A = this chain, B = another copy of it.
């Protein structure tokens, strides 16, 4: 893992970010107080409101730090696949959607559970933040799906985009409990293998003929 123990070195701002990320991942955004964060980070309580302006702004900073590179990588992959002669395949769209998240999860210990929290916390502020980060990504992937599955209606594509998102969100959100729930059977440490499983499942679902409009 790349992260240092926050008790050593690193400036206050980074210590707060790292500790907040870890605690948000472990306990959720709503149930982690500034007192928890500052105590664990070994900094003063007021440091949060000094470096960031508010608790909400800290949450936004924690999320942006990890989400922005992931979404940039997603777009990058998508453009690469779209430039290829056969256009993007459903497998490639799924890969561009899933792999950057899984790779970030492998690189930074807390990213997967933290994103899981983000995807699943009812907090209204988080919902807005989520929209900010994911609305443009959703639109971009809808467009790519249209190229990968010509003839499928926009409505159907929209649904399947959300089904794909559901498969990934669930695995992300359950990344901490999944090994326990399955008695160690489901192991997320082999990122490539898990991604491959997901891509296979999702691509097959994307390719399935529509249940309501059989024709084209």
6 contacts between A and B (CB under 8 A): A119-B120, A159-B201, A166-B170, A167-B170, A199-B211, A201-B205
Other-chain contact of A123, B28, B160, B206 (Cβ < 8 Å): B28
Output the residue of A119, A120, A169 with the most chain B CB within 10 A: A120
Whether the Cβ atoms of B208 and A177 lie closer than 8 Å is no
Asked if residues B166 and A171 are in contact (CB atoms below 8 Å), the reply is yes
A interface residue numbers (CB < 8 A to B): 27-28, 30-31, 117, 119-123, 127, 131, 135, 138, 154-156, 158-160, 162-163, 165-171, 173-174, 177-178, 181-182, 185-186, 193-194, 196-212
* CB closest chain-B residue, reference A120: B120
How many copies make up the complex?
Answer: 2
Across the interface, which residues of B come within 8 angstroms of A155, CB to CB?
185-186
Which of B131, B185, B204 has a CB less than 8 Å from the CB of A204? B204
Inside 8 A of A27's CB, which chain B residues have their CB?
122
Which partner residue on chain B sits nearest A198 by CB separation? B163
A-B residue pairs, 7 tightest by C-beta: A166-B170, A120-B120, A28-B122, A204-B208, A201-B205, A200-B211, A205-B205
CA distance A127 to B120 in the complex (A): 13
| Residue among A127, A181, A208 with the highest chain B CB neighbour number at 10 A | A208
- Kindly state the separation between the CA atoms of A166 and B166 in the bound complex, as whole angstroms: 5
Instruction: Indicate the member of A28, A171, A200, A207 with the most B CB atoms within 10 Å.
Output: A200
Report the minimal beta-carbon distance from A164 to chain B, rounded to whole angstroms. Answer: 9
Contact of A162 among B117, B171, B193 (CB under 8 A): B171
